[in-house]
């Protein structure tokens, strides 16, 4: 397997390393492995023999998606539609967050949860985490509170700083993952293949923003709250024991829609668009506002920008 470089983004066809030898070895080993795996319920021949997502042929991919839909039906009793749209050419997503506007209402947190089918409790997974910071100290994590719970926001003397996956251009998580279960797509979204992740949690240690979350148990997702419009790399319901994170609502943005958090924000603190389009609102933000990135000294070069509109 050739080494993948840091800013590597996948354009076009994946390289085909000698597939025949690999698949032979894979089958041979799988035969042995299957005997051992007989005890671990729910593991089928297809699962073990499956190739990495980026090596799947069109037919294999279609089969995989059908299987995911079937599993959804078994788990939730609902019909779902799971797609795997690729990135659009000429698109590099940028996200802007206006710190002067965020009031800390957390509507974005729960809109995300509804849209992306997170586990609701045990564990409760939130992809967006809003910090209450003090105006006196500025962006200072030693004076930041994730668990603020006042009767009304915004509180005087405080400002609010939501954190989610920054979709770094130099992602430490992609570097750390031992199985290439997470990678950066051409439009900038860092994705996770939930069926490839081994649950080692290296990526979680490596992420400076605490943006990656683990399914410590089988996700608790009520069937009536399931969002049936799903993307294979995005909001399809996850199994236990794998890592997940914000994907900029990949199932929405690859169809031109805004992410759920951008749509729900009542004060318009969230901006989203194509950085390569000079007319987009995010480019306007970059051109006219004071923009900063979080933990800049780590040189992760995020595609998520904080700014002050006023």
Bridge partner list, 162: 130
3-class DSSP assignment, residue 69: helix
> Is residue 44 involved in binding other proteins (CB under 8 A)?
no
How many of the other CB atoms lie within 10 Å of CB of 266? 10
Round to whole Å and give the CA distance between 66 and 130. Answer: 36
> Is residue 82 involved in binding other proteins (CB under 8 A)?
no
Q: Are 184 and 5 in contact (CB under 8 A)?
A: no
Least distance to other proteins, CB of residue 151, Å = 7
Nearer to other proteins, 63 or 75 (CB): 75
Q: Are 64 and 232 in contact (CB under 8 A)?
A: yes
Query: Which of 7, 78, 216, 290 touches other proteins by CB under 8 A?
Result: 216
Q: Interaction with other proteins in 55-74: which residues (CB under 8 A)?
A: none
Q: Interaction with other proteins in 111-130: which residues (CB under 8 A)?
A: 121-124, 126, 129
Query: Which of 43, 45, 62, 292 touches other proteins by CB under 8 A?
Result: 43
Query: Which of 80, 116, 215, 227 touches other proteins by CB under 8 A?
Result: 215
Round to whole Å and give the CA distance between 215 and 211. Answer: 13
Roughly how many angstroms between the first and final C-alpha of the chain, as a whole number? 50
Q: Interaction with other proteins in 219-258: which residues (CB under 8 A)?
A: 219-221, 239-243, 253, 256-258
173: Cβ contacts below 8 Å, ≥ 6 apart: 182, 190, 203, 204, 206, 207, 212
H or E stretch covering 114 = helix 107-116
Query: Which of 209, 232, 305, 306 touches other proteins by CB under 8 A?
Result: 209
Sole residue written with tokens 């299957």: 34
Q: b/e per residue, 241-261, with b = 16+ CB within 10 A?
A: ebbbbbbbbbbbbbeeebbbb
Choose one: 61-69, 77-85, 227-235, 273-281; the region binding other proteins (CB under 8 A).
Answer: 273-281
Residue 41 has which token pair? 């319920």
Query: Which of 266, 290, 296, 308 touches other proteins by CB under 8 A?
Result: 266
Whether residue 69 is preceded by a cis peptide bond, meaning omega within 30 degrees of 0, is: no
Round to whole Å and give the CA distance between 271 and 265. Answer: 10
Q: Interaction with other proteins in 173-192: which residues (CB under 8 A)?
A: 175-181
> Is residue 146 involved in binding other proteins (CB under 8 A)?
yes
Least distance to other proteins, CB of residue 119, Å = 9
> Is residue 109 involved in binding other proteins (CB under 8 A)?
yes
For the chain, the residue count is 310
Query: Which of 99, 163, 189, 260 touches other proteins by CB under 8 A?
Result: 163
Query: Which of 31, 86, 138, 210 touches other proteins by CB under 8 A?
Result: 210
Pairing of strands 290-292, 304-308: antiparallel
Nearer to other proteins, 84 or 254 (CB): 254
Choose one: 60-68, 78-86, 184-192, 279-287; the region binding other proteins (CB under 8 A).
Answer: 279-287
Nearer to other proteins, 215 or 230 (CB): 215
Nearer to other proteins, 82 or 104 (CB): 104
Nearer to other proteins, 10 or 30 (CB): 30
> Is residue 158 involved in binding other proteins (CB under 8 A)?
no
Sole residue written with tokens 């990678």: 183
């Amino acid at each position: 397997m050739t080494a993948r470089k840091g800013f590597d983004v996948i354009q076009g066809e994946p390289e085909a390393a000698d597939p025949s030898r690999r698949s032979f070895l894979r089958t041979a080993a799988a035969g042995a492995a299957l005997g051992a795996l007989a005890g671990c319920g729910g593991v089928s021949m297809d699962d073990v023999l499956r190739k990495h997502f980026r090596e799947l042929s069109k037919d294999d991919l279609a089969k995989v998606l059908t299987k995911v839909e079937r599993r959804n039906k078994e788990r939730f009793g609902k019909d779902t539609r799971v797609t795997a749209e690729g990135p659009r050419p000429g698109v590099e997503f940028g996200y802007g967050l206006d710190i002067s506007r965020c009031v800390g209402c957390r509507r974005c947190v729960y809109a995300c949860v509804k849209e992306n089918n997170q586990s609701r409790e045990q564990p409760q997974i939130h992809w967006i985490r809003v910090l209450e910071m003090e105006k006196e100290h500025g962006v200072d994590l030693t004076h930041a509170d994730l668990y603020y719970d006042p009767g009304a926001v915004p509180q005087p003397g405080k400002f609010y700083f939501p954190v989610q996956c920054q979709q770094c251009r130099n992602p430490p998580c992609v570097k750390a993952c031992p199985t290439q279960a997470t990678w950066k797509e051409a439009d900038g979204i860092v994705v996770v293949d939930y069926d490839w992740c081994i649950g080692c949690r290296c990526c979680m240690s490596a992420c400076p923003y605490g943006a990656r979350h683990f399914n410590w148990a089988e996700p608790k997702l009520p069937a009536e709250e399931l969002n049936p419009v799903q993307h294979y790399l995005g909001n399809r319901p996850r199994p236990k024991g794998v890592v997940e994170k914000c994907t900029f609502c990949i199932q929405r943005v690859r169809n031109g829609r805004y992410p759920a958090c951008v749509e729900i924000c009542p004060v318009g603190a969230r901006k989203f668009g194509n950085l390569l389009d000079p007319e987009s609102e995010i480019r306007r933000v970059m051109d006219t506002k004071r923009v900063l990135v979080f933990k800049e000294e780590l040189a992760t070069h995020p595609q998520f920008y904080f700014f002050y509109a006023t």
